[in-house]
C-alpha cells in the first residue's frame, strides 16, 4: 500500500489506516514532564507502540513530525511550545563547510562498513565507554540486553554503519532506511578518539552513502532552537525544516558556522 508523501500534497492518511488514525489526532498523550532540552519548559508527547512497521510508512510518519525510540513512535505535542522542528538534508545539494571538510580529511584512515545491526561484545563495550563519557550517571545501568531492546530491536528496516581504525571499532551509527530517506537513530563513539570529530565524520559518511544508494534525504531528527545539544544539526546544509506539514528550505539558526 502506497501511503503517499506530504511533500507532493497527497493526503496519505486517506489511503492508510494508520496514517488516517494519526491524522485524526486520536493518539494517546503522555503526562506533561520537564523538557530535557530547554530548561523551564514543559514537554508532552503523543504516540503509539508497534513491534514492527514498514519503513515507507515510517517515512510518512516522519513527514508528519514523528520519530521513533525503540518500539515507540512519537511526536512532540507540547501545549505552549513548538520548538522541536524536524530537520533533513537534501543529499543532492549538500555542501560541507570548511570545518566539516577538515573532519573528513582527518578520518580518511577510518574504514566504514554497512551491515545489518549486530549487537556483539565489541559494540556493547564501545557503547559502555561512550555512556561513561557522555552520560556517566546512566552507564552503570546499561546491560547488553537493554541495549538490544532499546536500539537493536528489529522494528523498522534498520542498518548499522561501523567505523573502524585498524581492527578497533571506534564508532557506530544506527540508521532507519527506506527508498526516500535515511534517518539517523543513534550514534556512539569511543571517547579516546574524541579529537577526531567522529560525529561530524559519521554524518558526512552517511550522507555520502545516501548518494551511493540513491536515497534523496538524510533525516537528522529534531532541531531545537536554544538547545545546545541540538545546535550542530543546523550546520549541515543546505537543509530543510518541517513546518505545517511542509518541508521548507532555510537555515534553522542563521548562517551555518564556518560555512
| Percentage above 70 pLDDT, the chain | 90
Binned at pLDDT 50, 70 and 90, residue 256 comes out as low
- From the list 64, 59, 94, the residue with the least C-alpha distance to 240 is 94
Range of lowest pLDDT (73-82, 116-125, 133-142, 169-178): 133-142
Q: Is the pLDDT of residue 140 over 70?
A: no
Domain boundaries, the chain: 6-85, 89-220
Q: Is the pTM of this model over 0.75?
A: yes
Q: Which CATH number does the domain 89-220 belong to among 3.40.630.30, 2.40.50.140, 1.20.120.530, 3.10.450.350? A: 3.40.630.30
DSSP-derived pairing of the beta strands 45-49 and 72-76: antiparallel
According to the model, what pLDDT value does residue 226 have? 75
Taking residues 195-212, what's their average pLDDT? Answer: 97
Q: If pLDDT is split at 50, 70 and 90, which confidence band does 259 have?
A: low
158 phi and psi, to 5 degrees? -110, 140
What does the angle CA 192 – CA 195 – CA 201 come to, to the nearest 5 degrees? Answer: 105
Q: Quick one: angle between helices 144-151 and 121-134, nearest 10? A: 90
The pLDDT mean for the chain works out to 89
pLDDT greater at residue 167 or residue 230? 167
- Distance (Å, whole) CA 198 – CA 183: 18
Q: Is the pLDDT of residue 171 over 80?
A: yes
Q: Torsion-angle region of residue 4: left (phi > 0), alpha (psi -120 to 50) or beta?
A: left
The sheet with strand 217-224 has its strands ordered as 111-115, 158-165, 168-177, 181-189, 217-224, 84-90, 240-243, 246-249
Q: What is the CA radius of gyration of the chain?
A: 18
Amino acid at each position: 500500500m502506497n501511503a503517499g508523501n506530504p511533500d507532493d500534497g497527497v493526503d496519505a492518511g486517506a489511503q492508510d489506516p494508520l496514517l488516517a488514525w494519526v491524522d485524526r489526532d486520536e493518539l494517546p498523550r503522555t503526562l506533561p514532564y520537564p523538557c530535557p532540552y530547554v530548561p523551564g519548559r514543559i514537554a508532552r508527547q503523543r504516540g503509539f507502540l508497534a513491534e514492527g512497521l514498514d519503513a515507507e510508512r515510517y517515512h510518512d510518519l516522519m513527514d508528519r513530525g514523528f520519530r521513533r525510540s525503540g518500539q515507540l513512535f512519537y511526536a512532540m505535542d507540547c501545549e505552549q511550545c513548538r520548538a522541536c522542528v524536524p530537520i533533513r538534508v537534501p543529499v543532492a545539494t549538500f555542501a560541507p563547510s570548511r570545518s566539516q571538510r577538515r573532519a573528513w580529511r582527518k578520518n580518511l584512515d577510518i574504514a566504514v562498513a554497512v551491515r545489518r545491526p549486530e549487537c556483539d561484545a565489541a559494540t556493547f563495550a564501545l557503547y559502555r565507554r561512550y555512556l561513561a563519557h557522555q552520560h556517566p550517571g546512566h552507564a552503570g545501568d546499561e546491560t547488553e540486553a537493554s541495549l538490544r531492546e532499546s536500539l537493536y530491536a528489529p522494528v523498522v528496516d534498520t542498518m548499522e554503519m561501523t567505523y573502524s581504525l585498524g581492527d578497533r571499532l571506534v564508532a557506530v551509527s544506527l540508521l532507519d532506511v527506506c527508498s526516500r530517506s535515511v534517518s539517523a537513530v543513534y550514534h556512539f563513539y569511543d571517547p579516546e578518539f574524541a579529537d577526531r570529530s567522529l560525529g561530524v565524520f559519521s554524518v558526512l559518511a552517511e550522507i555520502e552513502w545516501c548518494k551511493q544508494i540513491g536515497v534523496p534525504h538524510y533525516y537528522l531528527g529534531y532541531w531545537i532552537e536554544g538547545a545546545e545539544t541540538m545546535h550542530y544539526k543546523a550546520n549541515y546544509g543546505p537543509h530543510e525544516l518541517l513546518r505545517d506539514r511542509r518541508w521548507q528550505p532555510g537555515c534553522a539558526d542563521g548562517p551555518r558556522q564556518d560555512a
